[in-house]
Amino acid sequence: MTDFFQLVFSGLATGSIYALTALGFTLLWQASGTVNFATGEFVMLPAFSMLAFMSLGLPLLASFGITMLLSILVLGWGFKRVIVDPLIRHGMMPLIVATIGLSMMMRNGVRAGYSAEAFSFPSLFSDSIFTIAGIRISASDFGTFGFAIVIIFGVQMFIQKTVTGRAMQAVAQNTESATVLGINVKRMVLYTFAINAILATTAALLVTPVYLAKFDMGSGLGFKAFLAAIIGGFSNSRGALLGGLIIGVSENLAGAYVSPAYKDGVALALFMVVILFKPTGLLGKTIERKV
State in angstroms the smallest separation of the CB of 7 from other proteins.
6
Distances (CA, A) of 289 to 42, 286: 32, 9
Closer residue to other proteins in complex, CB, 82/157: 82
Query: Residues 52, 61, 69, 118: which binds other proteins (CB under 8 A)?
Result: 118
State in angstroms the smallest separation of the CB of 133 from other proteins.
14
Q: Total residues at the site for other proteins (CB under 8 A)?
A: 79
Alpha helices, DSSP H, located in the chain: 2-32, 39-55, 60-71, 85-88, 92-113, 139-161, 163-173, 175-180, 185-211, 217-232, 237-253, 263-277
* Residue 268 contacts other proteins per CB under 8 A: yes
Question: Which listed range, 61-69, 96-104, 178-186, 235-243, lies at the site for other proteins (CB under 8 A)?
Answer: 96-104
3 state SS of 135: strand
* Residue 127 contacts other proteins per CB under 8 A: yes
Closer residue to other proteins in complex, CB, 82/150: 82
> Of residues 169-198, which lie at the interface with other proteins (CB under 8 A)?
none
Tell me the CB-side half-sphere exposure of residue 101, using CA atoms within 13 A: 9
Query: Residues 145, 193, 215, 234: which binds other proteins (CB under 8 A)?
Result: 215
Question: Which listed range, 3-11, 149-157, 169-177, 187-195, lies at the site for other proteins (CB under 8 A)?
Answer: 3-11
Query: Residues 153, 160, 262, 285: which binds other proteins (CB under 8 A)?
Result: 262
Q: Which residues contact 280 (CB under 8 A, 6 or more apart)?
A: 233, 234, 235, 286, 287
Closest CA to 267 of 215, 232, 291: 232
